[in-house]
Amino acid sequence: MLKDIFSNFQNKHKDPFDVNIMDGFVDVKGYKVSEDGSKKLIYHDCGDNVVTDWMRHTIMVMLTGSVFSKNGNSSLPNPGAIASRQSDSAFSMLGQTSIYHSEKTADTSGKNLDGYLLNGKQYFFNASDITKKYSRPAESLENDNIYAYFPTKVLFGTGKEYSSWDVLQTENETANATWYTEMLNSYGGDVTTAKNNFDANIDIICNTFSGSISKNIYSGNGNITKMRTVNDPTASSNIIATTSTMNKNYGVVGAIKTFYFDEITDEDYLQSTLTDSGRLLKPVNRGVGRPCFIYFNTPQDNGKTKEGWDDAASAEVALTKDNSSVYLNKITFRITMPAQSAAENAVGKYYPYNGYTLKQMGLYNDACLTTGVDASQDSNSYAYNNMKHGMLLAIKNITAFQKTSDTEIVLTWTLTI
């Protein structure tokens, strides 16, 4: 009798660490923002996330006392023509001057050379809005260990991406004829022109992020495949099925991306007219480049006698207690994609999420990690090669919604240990 009971228990709980290490819950709300600034709830989705293996590895690393890592992309941008903009974005850029992400003023052009967005801000934001880069190591370590193991940013994806026009055409010309015709017209009107325009920027060096892995990721020899992000041809708002292997994902599928952008020198990349979705890039420049991570910005030296994360009402990253007010056991991350409303003096501003139908989201940090011995030749997973911009710690598929210029999206991501 006892043997049977223990046997059943063991079968149900083969890996208690895997079952109990962390729970995550995501809540997303979309608000239509009127010209007077009033908001109306038009979208709401919530549910559990999938915690990746990288999250578990990261927790173990942090428990050793390692909070920041040397392993991350520290290269700086190389301004110039799009084809020569080769560097991958770096966490350290958020602490640099306004050259990387400055809002447009009377005496300076707006730039975003790293592709990053600041939580609740428009695409171009003033560097003074960043207070100590969310959190950072000691000054003496800043040129060395600068990549955080803890969560720092969120990235959304459409759930759809293609490596070439040929793949898109084969998959959709018959199955999704209306959508395919729209894409054909957007990229030139005929197959030859559309193929050339669609494929043109996929292989640029800064187009480094994708949710797709070539070959077989789980037996080695797998690397990120360069893709162009597009909206899902399936108009259904149904949630993408959660696979049994999502805990092994390196990234979201159809990541929202943009190449280096300068509001003056790169103005030709923008469409001349405003669409219903807002200011958009021309199709040939859309969906390639750097991932548009949305960064938390939580200063620790907020003038109070307690840490900034203890202010649950205002902190972008808040740490709270359980129901008995005894244990610190819940972390809440808040992300806002702003509306381009008259009330915010932002009508006509370019925001890279506008016009995309979002179906997936991921919670990331800045560090890279591999369980192999040699970082550059990890035969198991090529982890460093696939973590171009940090580790995917948790992932969630959501009911589809379209981000438009008059819509504000508020994400609350709660992790409980």
Q: What secondary structure, in 3-state letters, does the chain show?
A: CHHHHHHHHHHHCCCHHHHHCCEEEEEEEEEEECCCCCEEEEEEEEEECEECHHHHHHHHHHHCCCCEECCCCCCCCCCCCHHHCCCCCCHHHHHCCCCCCCCCECCECCEECCCCEECCCCCCCCHHHCCCCCCCCCHHHCCCCCEECCCCEEEEECCCEECCHHHHHHHHCCCCHHHHHHHHHHCCCCHHHHHHHHHCCCCCCCCCCCCCECCCHHHCCCCECCCEECCCCCCCCCCCCCCCCHHHCCCCCCECEECCEECCCCHHHECCCCECCEECECHHHCCCCEECCEECCCCCCCCCCCCHHHCCCCCCEEEEECCCCCCEEEEEEEEEECCCCHHHCCCCCECCCCCCEEEEEEEECCCCCCCCCCHHHCCCCCHHHHCECECEEEEEEEEEEECCCCEEEEEEEEEEC
- pLDDT tens-digit profile of 288-329? 988 899 988 765 554 554 556 666 666 788 877 777 777 777
More confident residue, 171 or 74: 171
Alpha carbon of residue 297 to chain centroid: 15
Q: Is the pLDDT of residue 149 over 70?
A: yes
pLDDT tens column, 220-248: 567 788 999 999 998 777 777 777 778 88
| 9 belongs to a structural domain | no
Question: 4-43 as b/e, with b when 16 or more CB fall inside 10 Å?
Answer: eeeeeeeeeeeeeeeeeeeebbbebbbbbbeeeeebeeeb
Query: Considering the domain boundaries, does residue 221 fall inside one?
Result: yes
Residue 144: predicted pLDDT = 64
Q: Which residues fall within 8 angstroms of residue 30, CB to CB, at 6 or more apart?
A: 41, 42, 43, 44, 401, 407, 408, 409, 410
The pair of three-digit structure tokens given for residue 265, joined into one six-digit string: 């020198």
Query: Which structural domain, as residue segments, surrounds residue 314?
Result: 24-163+202-416
Q: What is the pLDDT of residue 81?
A: 43
The answer to the question of residue 176 being in a domain is no
Please give the structure tokens belonging to residue 250: 């390196």
Tokens 């187009």, located at residue: 207
pTM of the model: 0.86
In a domain, 169, yes or no: no
- Say if 1 falls within a structural domain: no
16 assigned to some structural domain: no
CB 169 within 8 A of CB 187: no
Q: Residues 38-56: what's their mean pLDDT? A: 87
Average pLDDT, the chain: 78
Which pLDDT score, from 0 to 100, does residue 327 have? 73
Cβ atoms of 229 and 288 within 8 Å: the answer is: yes
Query: Is a pLDDT exceeding 60 seen at residue 76?
Result: no
Residue of 49, 134, 18, 22 whose CA lies nearest to 412:
49
Name, of 90-99, 191-200, 314-323, the range with top average pLDDT: 191-200
Average the pLDDT over 177-201 and give the result.
Answer: 94
Give me 62's structure tokens.
């942090």
How far is Cα 80 from Cα 39, in angstroms, rounded to an integer? Answer: 40
Q: Average of pLDDT values for 162-175?
A: 94
Q: Is the dihedral of CA 146, 299, 117, 217 positive or negative?
A: positive
The count of structural domains within the chain is: 1
C-alpha radius of gyration, the chain, whole number: 22
Identify whether 12 is part of a domain.
no
